[in-house]
C-alpha cells in the first residue's frame, strides 16, 4: 500500500534528510489545546482560522465603514468596492428579483475570499481546501436553490430540464442530461473550490520540499514565488467563480424557462 511505503520512506530518510514530501500535512486538523481526539465541538485549528475569517470580515465591513464618510478612506472604499462588486454580479446575473438574496451571496463571497487569502499566510490552515467545508457551502447553495425553485414555480420548475426549443424526439435525452448535470452541480461546485486551493498549496509544499537540495533550491524558491503569485490570483478567482456560479444557479431557480 502507498501509505505504508510512504510511512516507511519517511521513517527511512528521517526528518530533514533527503527528499521528504509531506504536501498534505498542512491540511491536518488538530486541536488547538492539548492533544486529544477531534470531536465535533473541539476547538481546532479549523476554528481558529474560521474565526480569523469572521474577524477579518468584521474588520473590513463593519470597522472599515464605521466613519460613514461621504468621501471614503482606504478601508471604506475597499468595503464599498466589495459591496458594489457582488451587488452588480447578483443584479447582472440573477436579475432584479435576485437582489433579495444578495446578503446570502455576499456572505458566501466574503467568507470564501477571506478564507482563501488567510490560507495563503505562512503556517496558515486553509479551511476552504477541505471538502467538508466546500461541500457544505455547495450543498447549502444547491438545496436552497432547489427549494426556492419549487417554492416559486411549483412543478413548473421541472421545465428547467425540459428544453422546449429542442426537437421533440431529443427532449427526453436532453432532459436526462440536464437532470444529471443539475445533480453534478454541487459536486463540481465544491470540488472546484477545494481542489484549486488544495492543489496550489500542495504544489507549493512540494516545491518547498525540493528546496532541501542545495543545487535546485534557488529554482525552487523562484517557483514558490511564482506559484504564490498564481495562488493569490486563484484565491480571488475561485471566490469569484463560486459566487458567480451561485448567481447562475439562483437565476435558474428564479427563471427556469430556457
Partner 1 sequence: MAEEPIAQELASACIGPDGSAIGMPQLCGEWVGNQVFWLILTLVAIYFVLSRVALPRIAAILAERQGTISNDLAKAEDLKRQAEEAEKAYEKALVDARAEAQRIAEETRAEIRDEVAKAQEDADRQIAAKTAESEQQIAAIRASALENVEAVAKDTAEAFMGALGLGADRAELDGAVDQRLKG
Partner 2 sequence: MEGELAHIGAGLAGLGCGLAALGVGNVAANYLSGALRNPSAAASQTATLFIGIAFAEALGIFSFLVALLLMFAV
| Whole-angstrom distance, CA of residue 97 vs CA of residue 160 | 18
Query: CA angle, 133 as apex, 247 and 28 as ends, to 5°?
Result: 150
| Whole-angstrom distance, CA of residue 192 vs CA of residue 210 | 27
Q: Which stretch binds partner 1 (CB under 8 A): 107-115, 141-149, 178-186, 225-233?
A: 107-115
Residue whose entry in the numeric block shows the C-alpha cell 467538508: 132
Q: Which of positions 67-96 make contact with partner 2 (CB under 8 A)?
A: 89, 92-93
User: What's the start-to-end Cα distance of the chain, in Å?
Assistant: 50
Which entry of partner 1, partner 2, none binds 192, CB below 5 to 8 A by partner kind? partner 2
Residue 127 binds to partner 1 (criterion: CB under 8 A): yes
Half-sphere exposure of 67 (CA within 13 A, CB side): 13
Quote the cell numbers at residue 25.
500535512
Do residues 120 and 235 make contact, with C-beta atoms less than 8 angstroms apart? Answer: yes
| Whole-angstrom distance, CA of residue 138 vs CA of residue 191 | 9
Shortest Å, Cβ 192 to partner 2: 4
Q: Which of positions 155-214 make contact with partner 2 (CB under 8 A)?
A: 188, 191-192, 195-196, 198-199, 202
Binding mask of the shown chain, residues 233 to 252, with x at each position contacting partner 1 by CB under 8 A = --------------------
User: Counting every residue, how long is the chain?
Assistant: 258
| Whole-angstrom distance, CA of residue 175 vs CA of residue 162 | 5
Residue 201 binds to partner 1 (criterion: CB under 8 A): no
Using CB under 8 A as the criterion, which residues of the chain lie in contact with partner 1 when the complex forms?
3, 6-7, 10-11, 15, 20, 22, 24-25, 27-30, 35-42, 44, 46-47, 50-51, 53-54, 57-58, 61-62, 65, 68-70, 72, 76, 79-80, 83-84, 102-104, 106-108, 110-111, 127, 129-133, 136-137, 140, 194, 198, 205, 208-209
Using CB under 8 A as the criterion, which residues of the chain lie in contact with partner 2 when the complex forms?
1-6, 24, 89, 92-93, 188, 191-192, 195-196, 198-199, 202, 237-238, 240-241, 244-245, 248
Amino acid at each position: 500500500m502507498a501509505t505504508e511505503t510512504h510511512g516507511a520512506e519517511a521513517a527511512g530518510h528521517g526528518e530533514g534528510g533527503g527528499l521528504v514530501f509531506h504536501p498534505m500535512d498542512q491540511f491536518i486538523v488538530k486541536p488547538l489545546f492539548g492533544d486529544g481526539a477531534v470531536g465535533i465541538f473541539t476547538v481546532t485549528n479549523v476554528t481558529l482560522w474560521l474565526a480569523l475569517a469572521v474577524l477579518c470580515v468584521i474588520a473590513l465591513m463593519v470597522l472599515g465603514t464605521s466613519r460613514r464618510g461621504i468621501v471614503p478612506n482606504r478601508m471604506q472604499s475597499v468595503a464599498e468596492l466589495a459591496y458594489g462588486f457582488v451587488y452588480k454580479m447578483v443584479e447582472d446575473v440573477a436579475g432584479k428579483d435576485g437582489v433579495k438574496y444578495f446578503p446570502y451571496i455576499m456572505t458566501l463571497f466574503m467568507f470564501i475570499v477571506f478564507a482563501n487569502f488567510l490560507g495563503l499566510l505562512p503556517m496558515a490552515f486553509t479551511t476552504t481546501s477541505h471538502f467538508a467545508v466546500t461541500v457544505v457551502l455547495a450543498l447549502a447553495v444547491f438545496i436552497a436553490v432547489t427549494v426556492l425553485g419549487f417554492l416559486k414555480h411549483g412543478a413548473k420548475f421541472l421545465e428547467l430540464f425540459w428544453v422546449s426549443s429542442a426537437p421533440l424526439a431529443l427532449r427526453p435525452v436532453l432532459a436526462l442530461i440536464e437532470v444529471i448535470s443539475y445533480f453534478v452541480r454541487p459536486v463540481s461546485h465544491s470540488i472546484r473550490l477545494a481542489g484549486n486551493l488544495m492543489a496550489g498549496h500542495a504544489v507549493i509544499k512540494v516545491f518547498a520540499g525540493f528546496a532541501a537540495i542545495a543545487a535546485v533550491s534557488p529554482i525552487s524558491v523562484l517557483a514558490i514565488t511564482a506559484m504564490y503569485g498564481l495562488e493569490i490570483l486563484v484565491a480571488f478567482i475561485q471566490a469569484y467563480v463560486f459566487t458567480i456560479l451561485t448567481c447562475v444557479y439562483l437565476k435558474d431557480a428564479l427563471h427556469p424557462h430556457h
